[in-house]
A = this chain, B = another copy of it.
């Protein structure tokens, strides 16, 4: 087990302690990613004993040159306050993984641990891209709307309009580079199409977006995630978080509902396959992860309940984000937004 430093290789710093399952999910996930992508060098950052114990269950991996164990101390839990936890545990797995990225010893960091802790650690370790106040999470989270990018999914609440404008710009970059949409249409999520509808935040953001250089098409409503009226839908993280979890809960409730409805018509294995496909469709982030938007480095975040498949998926998505130089795209777009005269730090 040691790193191979050749130039064509991609170095991953994986928070091996993160998520609901820790090493029993992250280690096999890393091995699966490596099998699919032989160019990877993966640092498993975590408690050395726990990680090695898991690795020892995979004898071939012990001989694997591309796997390195990087020891860390402790883990930031979901219910800890991210900033104070980061101070108390400066050598935690997430902080150590992020340190490798900052030091140029990794090309991306990957975590399925506490989203808040990952965001805060990334922002404090790597810094934010110029012109941005907070990082966010965005992406296409609905299998039934695979080309609709939503920002913010990352729980930034009470966002000022200027922040939503920045998030919109980041969403446009994701849509263009990751989903291949040439001139993404940007819309604001509201309760009616008219610009006068919506809460104060939306009304103020509407004016900012309209006057920006983005391809703003106005307000859309809750059904418009599925109607192809916009490629990038912008909302406060309070709503984004509720929507992503609502879809998740709905997917979990739908699968057994359908199984009951279909039980008399289909053999069990086909039933399981269809219910499984539906669940995946409602839970894209669990199998593919998503990039953190706006920090100065490539950080992939996966769902806390990710299994090995989810880890491998997040690494795989990270490789695609790296290929299209997503972070560089973010940097350029924020710079354009800034140059266009709409101060992203200005109070509205």
Question: Which residues of chain B come closer than 8 Å to A246, judged between CB atoms?
Answer: 222-223, 225, 243, 246-247
In the assembly, what is the distance between CA of A189 and CA of B249, in Å? 14
Say yes or no: A223 contacts B248, CB within 8 Å.
yes
Say yes or no: A243 contacts B222, CB within 8 Å.
yes
What's the nearest-Cβ distance from chain B to residue A203, in Å?
9
Q: Using a CB-CB cutoff of 8 Å, which residues 56-81 of chain A contact chain B?
A: 79
Question: Which residues of chain B come closer than 8 Å to A241, judged between CB atoms?
Answer: 191, 221-222
What's the nearest-Cβ distance from chain B to residue A253, in Å?
4
Q: Using a CB-CB cutoff of 8 Å, which residues 141-161 of chain A contact chain B?
A: 142, 144-145, 155, 157-158
Stoichiometry, copies per complex: 2
Say yes or no: A198 contacts B157, CB within 8 Å.
yes
Say yes or no: B252 contacts A226, CB within 8 Å.
yes
Say yes or no: B199 contacts A222, CB within 8 Å.
no
A157-199 vs B, CB cutoff 8 Å, 1 = contact: the mask equals 1100000000000000000000000000000011110100011
Say yes or no: A242 contacts B243, CB within 8 Å.
yes
What's the nearest-Cβ distance from chain B to residue A96, in Å?
26
- Counting chain A residues whose Cβ lies within 8 A of the other chain, the interface size class is 35 or more
Interface 9-residue window, one of A43-51, A127-135, A259-267, A332-340: A259-267
Question: Which residues of chain B come closer than 8 Å to A157, judged between CB atoms?
Answer: 191, 198-200
In the assembly, what is the distance between CA of A225 and CA of B262, in Å? 24
Say yes or no: B79 contacts A194, CB within 8 Å.
yes
Q: When the two chains form the complex, which single residue of B189, B221, B238 contacts A191, counting CB atoms closer than 8 Å?
A: B238
Question: With A224-B249, A248-B222 as given contacts, are A158 and B242 in contact (CB-CB < 8 Å)?
Answer: no
Nearest B-chain residue to A242, judged by Cβ: B222
Nearest B-chain residue to A201, judged by Cβ: B158
Question: Which residues of chain B come closer than 8 Å to A106, judged between CB atoms?
Answer: none
Q: Using a CB-CB cutoff of 8 Å, which residues 251-277 of chain A contact chain B?
A: 252-254, 257-258, 261-262, 265-266, 270, 274, 277
Say yes or no: A245 contacts B223, CB within 8 Å.
yes
Question: Which residues of chain B come closer than 8 Å to A2, judged between CB atoms?
Answer: none
Question: Which residues of chain B come closer than 8 Å to A252, judged between CB atoms?
Answer: 223, 226
In the assembly, what is the distance between CA of A300 and CA of B90, in Å? 58
- Could you say which of A222, A258, A265 has the most chain B C-beta atoms within 10 Å of its C-beta? A222
CB of A26 within 8 Å of the partner chain: no
CB of A237 within 8 Å of the partner chain: yes
What's the nearest-Cβ distance from chain B to residue A142, in Å?
8
Nearest B-chain residue to A142, judged by Cβ: B250
Q: 18 A-B residue contacts at CB 8 Å?
A: A79-B194, A144-B254, A144-B257, A145-B253, A157-B200, A191-B242, A199-B236, A221-B241, A221-B242, A223-B245, A223-B248, A224-B249, A225-B250, A238-B239, A243-B243, A262-B262, A262-B274, A265-B265
Chain A residues engaging chain B, CB cutoff 8 angstroms? 79, 142, 144-145, 155, 157-158, 189-192, 194, 198-200, 202, 221-227, 236-239, 241-250, 252-254, 257-258, 261-262, 265-266, 270, 274, 277-278, 281
